[in-house]
Structure 1
Amino acid sequence: MELRNLKTRTESGKFDDAQYILGQVRGTIGAIRYLSHTGTPEVNGFLTAIINNVGAQWRLSQQVHNANHPNDRTAIGDFWSEWVKDFYANFVIGNARNWAREAIDGLREAWTNSADPGAQQILDALTSLDTQLETLTIDTSLWF
């Protein structure tokens, strides 16, 4: 959801808009948590296998290049290892957290002094989502 649409829906004061945004935030948190899921299906295992296979190809390319060009060495395989962890931690989780934070803060501001009978329900959901947002991670412990 674009920030423009987010702002419009958070400021509308409509219960249905608030519920829609809460669903979007829950979905965002759920998608990130799903990437760490180790049950059935083992999503984190699949993600780990993909990340490690791509890393193996980059390291192989690095070895071949460096063997054939000793005076023009590359560290692309090493770079991949750093980059992919940084990408998931900062870009994927960071953007998800920033977007969700903006949604939560906007809803909290709009609903804190609301006389709507559903206001407390919205505020309670925001408190719960706030807590979940702080613990948002993707397990990268088995990445090469």
Structure 2
Amino acid sequence: MITLHHAIKIAASRHAIFTSLTDIEKMAAWHAGVVEGEILPGQILTLRPKAETHFSWRTEKLEPDAVVVQTSLEESEGQAGKTLTFRLSDLADGRTLVELTHGAWADSDPHLPFCNTYWGEVLFHLKTFNERT
């Protein structure tokens, strides 16, 4: 099994970034496509970045300004059941480090390289949104 690892440094507070990851209206402002549902423990978030693509995530854990953990319930491309984790920490220069893990992927999953690329794009959108607001 493979776990994807991504990280980005953002010139914004952990609180601002956490809010961008957990407030449905803020997420819709920076995330591609349609964003539906709620980001609260036990609730479902559905992302539709393109008409033919959707992902549904159940939020498992929220630690304010620090951690978001979700489990994939449904994916239009790929196997559900993967875990997505965002971890936020302060950097000495005042920026926030956002670390993302997404696993566990089957070694042979044909969607793995596409998702790996897509996470880089998503984190760039999160950075751009938070640094301009």
Q: TM-score range by the shorter chain?
A: under 0.3
- Greater strand fraction, Structure 1 or Structure 2: 2
Which structure has the greater CA radius of gyration? 1
Asked which structure has the greater RCO (Cα within 8 Å, sep 6+), the reply is: 1
What is the TM-score with the length of structure 1 in the denominator?
0.26
